[in-house]
Each structure stands twice: as C-alpha cells, then as structure tokens.
Amino acid sequence: MASGNSWLQAVQSGGQRFAAGIDINSQNVRLIVLSQRFRARGALQLEHMSAVPLAASAMAGAEIIDRQAVARALRDAFAGLPRVCTAQALQCAMAVPASITRTSTVPLERLAAQSQCEQQDGGPALAGLAPAVMDEAERIAGVERHALAADWCVDERSAPVRAVTITAMARQHLEARIECAASAGISLSAVDGEHHAALRAMRYAAMHELDPCEPYVALWIGTDGVHGWRMADGVIDGDMHYPAPEHTDLADALRDLAGGPRFDCALVGGEVDLLDGVGFSLADIGDVLGCSVLPFECALLGTRVRPFEDEPLRGPAGAVAFGLALRGVIE
C-alpha cells in the first residue's frame, strides 16, 4: 500500500525518492535500488545493484532455514549503497515466492461498496478499503485472519475500471522475512509476489521499448514454473502458468497463451537457465509464439549513476528486484 509520508520525505530530501527491491532465492540475495526525481516522473536512476550468494542450507524451497545467514547476506547486499541512498528514508520491498502466495484482482468500486467507503476526489477513500481487502485475502488464501498476511495496491489507471491487486500468504513466511530484514537493520515497507513484481518490471520495459499500441506477451521463469501474460492496450488479456494439469508441456501452455490477437514480441524475465530443465530455450519460445523474444534488461530502463560489479542483475534475473524497487518509486 502506498505511504503518504514517502512523498513528503521525497520533497524534504530535495525532490528525489529512493526505493529498494529485495529478491531472496535459494542461491542468493539480489538487491536493486532505484531513484526518481519528484518533478520528473519518467526519469529513473539505477543507484545500486548487488547479488550476494547464499549457502545451500540457508533455504529449503520457500522456507528460510538459516535466518542468520540470510540476514548476513542482506547486510552485505546493502553495504555498498551510495551515501545519498543511506541518507534517505529508503522504501524497501521484498519478494515472496509465487508458490506460497495467492493473488486476486478485484474492481476498486466493488471493494469500496463492501467497505461502505466515503467518496473523496471522485473516488473511494483508500484507507477505508482495508476490511474488504482482508475479507478477500482470507478467501483466496484459505487461512484464518489471525494467521494471514496480506498486501495490496491500487491500479493507477483511471479507465476502464480501476482495480485492486491483493496478495495473501500464511503469516509465518512473512514473519521470517521481516525478522531477517530487521536483523540486517532493514525496515520493509511492502512485500509482493515474485511473479507480480516481475510483471510490473516487464510492463515498464514494454512502455519504454515497444510501440504503445503493440500487443505483447510477458513471461517470467521462476522455480515454480513459467508464468505468462498476454498484454493488449496496457491490460492483461490472458494468462497462464506451467506446469499445470491443463497443459501437457510448456509448448502447449505457450500456444494456449498465444490464442487471440497477433503480437510481435515476447518479453522474458527470471531464471532463463531453468528452461534447460524442460528442454527449452528462448529461441524455442519465439518459434512457438511466432514472434521475436526480448530478454528483460533493467540497465536499459534507467540512468546508471555509477559502474556496478554485479552485471548479471542487468539481465532477466533482475526483473523481480527491479519490479519491487519500481513499486517504491511510482506509488
């Protein structure tokens, strides 16, 4: 959820807002820090990128086994921050694995009606949506409210229908990550599902690299499989996840996603090397979809303020961390 104080902090700090995206996986901790001038909403700066390896015993799937090891990796990742970032109230968002999250997208007006929110400036008072949001989070997660953690954000588009995206999970997973961050001296302002953060990053890339009216496919490759979205006119026109019972293989899932308007490009983010495990490649994706394939590259989306040692984060693997940091500077 957006913080009203963060814009005030941006103004007080000379009009520049800073946000960090933290992606923890079984192999490493990835960090990307972005900034944006208060009066130049389109100009992003890449302030910092780092990736710190984790021991194999630190994680077991989505579970954090060695919290001290993760906290140390977080401290190391933040150790190289430029001084201008540490001087600000840094907005920090962390990803949680798609396998432990449940997500729902609900029309804003529906939630407002359920919450009986008062109207402000032509729309509902967002603070009043919380009760309805928690009702929906409890429904999609199948977890009682006392053991539930939920996060939500409002689509900034005013038309055709504004929507609220709700992410929910068992509280124990969130508490483990908050504890690791706190041990590293980091205060989290938000959590987000990996695939939603990656989609946010690729939608931003599409805005800057593709024709505004061009339909495209966004694909994110993670440890739980491949998530795909067919995008048209800036909105999701279809989606898929593989593996899933309805798909015999990845090619079948991609062909199902491709049904509909023709498109010329597929944006791909995530762990591209995992495609080898299913006998696939980026070229194969292009062949099945009948379009060109463009790997996500965050270095093309912002001004680099200094050289970075962790060049691999420039590519598809940096999509989640970039999408998390992007959330912090645009909300």
Say which residue the tokens 């998390």 belong to.
Answer: 324
Widest distance between CA atoms in the chain? 55
**pLDDT, tens digit, 9 for 90 and up, residues 140-153:** 988 888 898 887 87
Edge-to-edge strand ranges of the sheet holding 265-270: 235-242, 225-232, 216-222, 265-270, 292-295
How far is CA 43 from its chain centroid?
Answer: 19
Distance, in Å, from the CA atom of 30 to the CA atom of 18, rounded to the nearest integer, reads 17
Residue 98 CB contacts under 8 Å (≥ 6 apart), including other chains: 193, 194, 195, 222, 224, 227
> Which pLDDT score is estimated for 178?
93
pTM exceeding the 0.85 threshold for the entire prediction = no
> Which pLDDT score is estimated for 31?
94
Domains of the chain: 4-99+173-196+300-330 (3.30.420.40), 101-167 (no CATH), 210-296 (3.30.420.40)
> Which pLDDT score is estimated for 87?
43
User: Residue 295 to residues 25, 91, 196: CA-CA distances in angstroms?
Assistant: 20, 27, 17
Low-confidence ranges of the chain (pLDDT < 50): 1-13, 87, 120-123
> Which pLDDT score is estimated for 10?
39
> Which pLDDT score is estimated for 8?
36
Of 66, 29, 72, 69, nearest in space to 49 by CA: 29
> Which pLDDT score is estimated for 150?
84
> Which pLDDT score is estimated for 9?
44
> Which pLDDT score is estimated for 306?
61
> Which pLDDT score is estimated for 72?
96
